[in-house]
Amino acid sequence: MAAAHKISQIRLPPLPSIKDVIKLYKLRALRELSQNFLMEPRLLDKIVRAAGHIENHVVCEVGPGPGGITRSIIKQAPRKLVLVEKDPRFIPSLELLADACKDRVDVDIITGDILKTDLAHFIPSDTKTDWSDPPPPINLIGNLPFSVSTILIIRWLEKISRQEGPWALGRARMTLTFQKEVAERMCAPMLDKQRCRLSVMCQNWCRVNYKFDIPGAAFLPKPEVDVGVVTLTPLKKPVIDLPFKLVEKVIRQIFSMRQKYSIRGAQTLFPQEVRQEMALKMYKLAEIDPVTRPFQIANSEFRRLCEAYNEIIKQYPEFENYDYRAPKNKGVEIENTI
């Protein structure tokens, strides 16, 4: 079986190395775009292997840069490869790769910001599976710039919650790189020192698997931190099956005072004059001890807290749009309507 898979791999024609491509096209990593190039072919292949079997799959790569991971993806013989690159300086090197495999892999090169790109537009509709089925033959892979990684994963979690974008076609899997500390937060269990809002959000909608570390020294220029490779597979049913905005709001406010009693953060969900009363009501409905600290709360307990908050805003709809961070004068207007 292994031999059959090996035969199906694509052997690229002789190409300049990534290091030579960078010299050839006079490419320089831009600090303002958080760019770091990974050169080592062994590590590039390892990232792609972490995605699992991708032969004949549609693969979307985020931020391919000079094309290091792209080469490793192509060698695994995907059906189609969609490359989304914001920096136009990298397009010639990506076109070189697309030309090298044009008879075997369909390659789309999109010059644009991944935060504004609808990947579903480039994925064939025949890949669609039902949400309850195993994941479709679609993989999202990327060596993400640190500056956008957390923003991007939160946006993707929202799309997963709504089954939009690539997730309109099923539970598409992701294999992504993050700053090591962020990767650790994403999979941190209850009581872990890294446990935070991101932990609960990621684990609510996905199965999160921390695969391995990549030392910062493997990148050019060398970042000050190491990198973690994480795979995320959307769950058939989230732990907290409520609207994304509500879940995100409750978790964010509770973790806003991470080291204090969790009810302190929960109080900020409500206007000043009813804050203590409503937060106590919320914790009583959820059957959670108010002096529990945020990192001591299990995902299933966060579900009860979110459900309790949802019940309260059904009873008091005026609380739903209350924003603790809003300007004071706006907050006074909201409080006066209660």
Q: Tokens 């190409």 appear where?
A: 15
Domain stops at, among 212, 234, 256: 234
What's the pLDDT tens digit per position in 129-165? 999 999 999 999 998 888 889 999 999 999 999 999 9
Residue 239 lies in a domain: no
Q: What is the CATH number of the domain that holds 283?
A: 1.10.8.100
Question: What is the arithmetic mean of pLDDT over 80-103?
Answer: 94
Q: What is the CATH number of the domain that holds 40?
A: 3.40.50.150
Task: Kindly state whether residues 214 and 316 are assigned to the same domain.
Answer: no
Tokens matching residue 245: 């905005």
Task: Kindly state whether residues 271 and 210 are assigned to the same domain.
Answer: no
Question: What is the arithmetic mean of pLDDT over 283-294?
Answer: 98
Task: Kindly state whether residues 198 and 261 are assigned to the same domain.
Answer: no
Task: Kindly state whether residues 40 and 133 are assigned to the same domain.
Answer: yes
Residue 232 β-bridge partners? 174, 208
Query: Could you give the CA distance from residue 158 to residue 171 in angstroms, rounded to a whole number?
Result: 13
Query: Could you give the CA distance from residue 186 to residue 21 in angstroms, rounded to a whole number?
Result: 34
Domain total for the chain? 2
What's the pLDDT tens digit per position in 162-172? 999 999 999 99
Other C-beta atoms closer than 10 Å to the C-beta of 158 total 18
Q: What pTM value is reported for the model?
A: 0.89
Task: Kindly state whether residues 253 and 219 are assigned to the same domain.
Answer: no
* DSSP designation for 138: E
Residue 199 lies in a domain: yes
Task: Kindly state whether residues 85 and 42 are assigned to the same domain.
Answer: yes
Question: What is the arithmetic mean of pLDDT over 51-62?
Answer: 97
Q: What is the percent of the chain where pLDDT is above 70?
A: 89
Q: Tokens 């921390």 appear where?
A: 210
Task: Kindly state whether residues 230 and 289 are assigned to the same domain.
Answer: no
Reported confidence tier of residue 80, pLDDT bands at 50, 70, 90: very high
Contact (CB, 8 A) for 204 and 211: no
What's the pLDDT tens digit per position in 318-336? 999 999 888 764 443 333 3
Residue 85 lies in a domain: yes
Query: Could you give the CA distance from residue 65 to residue 46 in angstroms, rounded to a whole number?
Result: 18
Reported confidence tier of residue 338, pLDDT bands at 50, 70, 90: very low
CA dist list (Å): 56 to 23, 67, 108:
33, 20, 15
Task: Kindly state whether residues 167 and 45 are assigned to the same domain.
Answer: yes
Task: Kindly state whether residues 175 and 108 are assigned to the same domain.
Answer: yes
Domain stops at, among 234, 257, 282: 234
Reported confidence tier of residue 20, pLDDT bands at 50, 70, 90: low
Query: Could you give the CA distance from residue 26 to residue 287 in angstroms, rounded to a whole number?
Result: 61
Domain stops at, among 203, 234, 265: 234
Task: Kindly state whether residues 135 and 57 are assigned to the same domain.
Answer: yes
Residue 173 lies in a domain: yes
**Residue ranges making up the domain that contains 276:** 244-336
Task: Kindly state whether residues 320 and 192 are assigned to the same domain.
Answer: no
